[in-house]
């Protein structure tokens, strides 16, 4: 594996999956001049509009020049395979397996909003180091702090390599225990869930709840507005994973999240969530 150095651009990133989370991370990498490519599996039917030729979803169009649909077409072998999608481990692993077969020396940097790094390593039989991170769409793109968690069987060296990469991307890293949702995303999702229950139970309007949180505890956003920004599908994925892991009532998702996601009301990205927006890109 190439030694990490920003100066000679020897480190390369392979982003996998075609979600808006991938697109947001691609913007960060591009802005910090870190070389990357994006691998999309043609088996992911939801990514493409079927016509005479596959059509990229709108959020990926700006990156069409670095997108490949065959792993063997990746020009620079990646040092780091990055998965930003907030999915359960069993949904992540097939794509991770596919790219690891082509690039067996890469470190895996994986969103652990809905799983743990250790769980991913379990699925791949501890053959590759996995570092988890708390990538929240609509937040991490502009944030200065990001959480990292090492899989229990991953090496300290792999953690240090990832920390250097994220430092080069403008992040200060906080090392936390490898748990579903890490720290800030887990707490935030729980608060958003309480806010959604308050709406469901007609305790207050969504506007009043958000105003109270901003004025009362000096939050940068109202909780429901913030949920719309992150994506209600992402919040639901975190809550489902936390409830499955701990079986505690505080993580039981409010039915509004599930119903809104079923209706594709995922927040700003879709044009509608708890609030309505002028446009979306989901």
pLDDT the model gives residue 134? 94
pLDDT, tens digit (0-9, with 9 covering 90-100), for 198-243? 999 999 999 999 999 999 998 889 999 999 999 999 999 999 999 9
More confident site: 214 or 49: 214
Q: What is the DSSP string of the chain?
A: -PPP-TTTT---EEEES-SHHHHHHHHHHHHTT--EEEE--TT-GGG---SSS----GGGGGGGGGEESSGGG-SS--SEEEE-----HHHHHHHHHHHHHH-TTPEEEEE-SSS-HHHHHHHTTT-S-EEEE---TTTTTT-SEEEEEE-TTS-HHHHHHHHHHHHHTTPEEEE----TTTTHHHHHHHHHHHHHHHHHTTSS-HHHHHHHHHHHH--SS-HHHHHHHH-HHHHHHHHHHHHHHH--GGGSPPHHHHHHHHTT--BGGGTBSSSB-S----
What is the phi/psi pair of residue 146, to 5°? -140, 145
Comparing 10-24, 35-49, 139-153, 233-247, the range with the smallest average pLDDT is 35-49
CB 92 within 8 A of CB 114: no
Q: Tell whether the model's pLDDT for residue 156 goes beyond 80.
A: yes
| Mean pLDDT score, 181-206 | 97
Say how far residue 89 (Cα) sits from the centre of its chain.
Answer: 13
Handedness of CA 44, 49, 55, 59 (dihedral sign): negative
18-23 mean pLDDT:
91
Average pLDDT, integer, range 174-186: 97
pLDDT tens-digit readout, 57-75: 888 999 999 999 999 899 8
pLDDT for residue 223: 97
Assign 138 a pLDDT band (cuts: 50, 70, 90): confident
Q: Given this structure, which CATH class describes domain 184-270?
A: mainly alpha
- pLDDT at residue 133 greater than cutoff 80: yes
Q: Is the pLDDT of residue 159 over 70?
A: yes
Residues 6+ apart with CB under 8 A from 274: 196, 199, 206, 224, 225, 227, 228, 232, 260, 267
Domain boundaries, the chain: 13-175, 184-270
Distance set, CA 64 to CA 6, 29, 67 (Å): 24, 15, 5
Q: What is the pLDDT of residues 73-92, one digit of tens each?
A: 998 899 999 999 999 999 99
Tell me the percentage of the chain whose pLDDT exceeds 90: 76
Topology, domain 13-175: Rossmann fold (3.40.50)
Distances (CA, A) of 115 to 5, 31, 77, 166: 30, 28, 27, 21
Residues in Cβ contact with 29 at an 8 Å cutoff, skipping those fewer than 6 apart? 13, 15, 35, 36, 169
């Amino acid at each position: 594996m190439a030694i990490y150095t920003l100066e000679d651009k020897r480190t390369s990133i392979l982003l996998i999956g075609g979600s808006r989370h991938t697109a947001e991370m691609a913007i960060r990498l591009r802005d910090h001049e870190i070389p990357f490519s994006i691998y999309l599996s043609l088996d992911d039917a939801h990514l493409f509009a079927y016509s005479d030729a596959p059509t990229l979803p709108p959020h990926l169009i700006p990156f069409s020049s670095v997108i490949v649909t065959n792993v063997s077409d990746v020009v620079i072998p990646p040092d780091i395979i990055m998965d930003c999608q907030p999915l359960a481990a069993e949904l992540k692993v097939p794509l991770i397996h596919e790219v690891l077969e082509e690039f067996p020396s890469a470190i895996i940097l994986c969103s652990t909003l809905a799983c743990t790094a250790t769980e991913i390593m379990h699925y791949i039989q501890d053959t590759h180091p996995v570092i988890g991170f708390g990538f929240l769409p609509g937040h991490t793109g502009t944030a200065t702090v990001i959480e990292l968690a090492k899989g229990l069987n991953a090496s300290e060296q792999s953690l240090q390599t990832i920390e250097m990469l994220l430092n080069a991307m403008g992040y200060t890293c906080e090392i936390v225990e490898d748990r579903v949702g890490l720290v800030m995303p887990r707490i935030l999702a729980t608060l958003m869930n309480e806010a959604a229950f308050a709406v469901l139970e007609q305790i207050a309007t969504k506007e009043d709840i958000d105003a109270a949180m901003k004025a009362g505890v000096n939050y940068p956003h109202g909780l429901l507005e913030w949920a719309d920004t992150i994506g209600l599908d992402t919040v639901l994925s975190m809550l489902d994973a936390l409830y499955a892991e701990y079986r505690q009532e505080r993580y039981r998702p409010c039915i509004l999240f599930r119903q809104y996601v079923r209706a594709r009301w995922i927040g700003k990205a879709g044009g509608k969530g708890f609030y309505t927006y002028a446009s979306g890109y989901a």
